[in-house]
Structure 1
């Protein structure tokens, strides 16, 4: 059974920096039951205590530091949070996804990190943006090629919006990637790289069809940017997903 509907905390990064505990309480008040941190080494013990008190679970955490710092302490922090997924959200050069050789290098880095993650009781995952999808390598999206070179234990967190912006048929992509997809970033917008995102259900994404293509994946709402009140957009997103039966 997938974890409950969550929020990627990058969505509320400015408010979070000013009042972490208050922001987590507000997310819980909106009815969300899980969060996905993006700075796991920032007081993981205190973060876990607050989340536990609010009834918020932490199934996974983003950690770009895994690529440019000693990974051991980062994995330890993620484990302290109680997460199962240690997610690399970016940091591999964009150009590596334009050639088979570059994708091979990316896979080697992720496979090596995955072995280290397992030593901490974690499963490594990789999160895409548009630049892992838009390039076609050997006639396939670079993300498809990468998946074929990753060790079996390496999971994927598919950002459905950026996959669509990159030109993928997202339900088809999810179908090809199968059980490797452990998490989805659920977001919406005008399908333009430079435009702000909107509440889930109010943009151009075919959300019901996308979610149906990965029924067992954890759903995580994210707005990279937002032209309206971000907490209002989170509330609208949850209400829409609740109407689809996806907000448990």
Structure 2
């Protein structure tokens, strides 16, 4: 089976364009569609109701299979967060951060329980809950490494993972090892490149060999691969370049 036959759908994490989204969300979605994107991942609705988000997406021929959610929303009002995600038309709701004060052994036990509990609630609404990593989850505590602990302690029926390839590599972990050790757990991926200083850069301009990496990862379980850049110098250009580079690799 070829790489293209196993390819996940390419999308854009809209956090890359957050300043533009804040100024003009409908216009920004139109610009993303004009680039050739078909899928986007939200990181906030910028005061637009979920039903309006769904309408705007339909107008541009876009799909938003996934959205990020802040920890406090799952800790305090998970039902509302899930209902809004369903109304907006998402398939995945992704917890993309864990507060620094909670990055303790007890805090990660709390996180595992939260993911399992909300993941079970999500399933009743036809959604899947996912967790997105940065690099701090790979820093070992006294008794365990948080990311390995979360993978072991969460129920695969309720919780999947969005693996940020840059942050995993930045932390010194090989994504291939994670895929081999935890088959089927990674439904979503984030892609951004790493420059010589360890910072972020556009895909294809850094040290991560995405052609080699994506050519060796077992991608059959991955549904979506999202382009992202946290602090782009030129956000629209970065988004367009990411789509072009990944299409060259996945859909030659």
TM score, norm. by length of structure 1: 0.88
Query: C-alpha deviations, 1:121-142, integer Å up to 9, x for none?
Result: 211111111011132665x743
User: Residue 87 of structure 1: SS of its match in structure 2?
Assistant: strand
Deviation at 1:17, TM superposition (A): 0.5
Number of residue pairs the alignment of both structures matches: 241
CA shift in 2, pair 1:2/1:92, >3 Å: farther
Corresponding position: 1:189 with 2:194: yes
**CA–CA separation in structure 1 for the residues paired with 2:120 and 2:11:** 27
Structure 2 residues without counterparts, runs of 5 or longer: 1-5
Query: C-alpha deviations, 1:172-220, integer Å up to 9, x for none?
Result: 2222222110000111122756x3x222111111212332314131100
- RCO (CA 8 Å, sep 6+): is it higher in 1 or 2? 2
The residue number in structure 1 matching 2:3 is none
**CA–CA separation in structure 1 for the residues paired with 2:169 and 2:100:** 20
Q: What does 1:59-74 align with in structure 2 at a 5 Å threshold? A: 59-64=65-70, 65-74=72-81
**CA–CA separation in structure 1 for the residues paired with 2:129 and 2:94:** 6
Query: How large is the Cα RMSD of the aligned pairs?
Result: 2.2
Deviates more, 1:169-178 or 1:86-95: 86-95
Structure 1 residues without counterparts, runs of 5 or longer: none
Deviates more, 1:174-183 or 1:217-226: 174-183
The residue number in structure 1 matching 2:121 is 116
**CA–CA separation in structure 1 for the residues paired with 2:237 and 2:131:** 29
Corresponding position: 1:85 with 2:92: yes
Aligned counterpart for 1:29 among listed residues 28, 34, 55: 34
> After TM superposition, where is structure 1 displaced by more than 6 Å over at least 4 residues in a row?
none
TM score, norm. by length of structure 2: 0.87
